[in-house]
Amino acid sequence: MQIDRILGIEGAEPPPTCGLQPRSVARLTAKRVYRARIERFRHLGEDLFADPAWDMLLDLFICQGVRRLSVSAVCLGAQVPHATAMRYLRLILDRGLAERLPDVLDRRRTHVRLTAKGVSAMEIALERFAS
């Protein structure tokens, strides 16, 4: 399909899963989905696509256990106006998919991370994408 070529995924093989733990498969899939999103924005324009909650969940999942994301970083990653990003972040938090954590070194900053429920939900969704 032409859209697959535009997105740079034409003929792309799914992420390798042999011997990988389910969490590894989900992380590889998340990175692939994230890259496809960036390519989609680059070739088709950001103004056609907005899925801030999904973008935030992908960012949080990819960074889980690797690095901490501040509220500001999560909002910037959604690539929507700050007020819109905060509204979607509130929904994610209210559904128990993520939680806020104070920065022990800088009280002005708050970090966000997925909860066990959020990690589990993302793993299930991403494993289904990979299959």
pLDDT of residue 43: 82
Structural domain total, the chain: 1
The DSSP output letter for 99 is: E
Q: What would the pLDDT profile of 9-36 be if each residue is shown by its tens digit? A: 344 443 333 333 446 778 888 888 888 8
pTM for the full model?
A: 0.74
pLDDT of residue 84: 94
Which residue range forms the structural domain that includes residue 65?
2-10+18-130
Q: What would the pLDDT profile of 69-125 be if each residue is shown by its tens digit? A: 999 999 998 888 999 999 999 999 999 999 999 999 998 999 999 999 999 999 998
Alpha-carbon distance 115 to 104, whole Å? 19
Q: Are 18 and 51 in contact (CB under 8 A)?
A: no
Share above pLDDT 70 across residues of the chain, in percent, rounded to a whole number: 81
Q: Which pair of structure tokens corresponds to residue 126?
A: 């991403």
CATH number (domain holding residue 94): 1.10.10.10
Alpha-carbon distance 65 to 58, whole Å? 13
Instruction: Name the amino acid, one letter, at 26.
Output: A
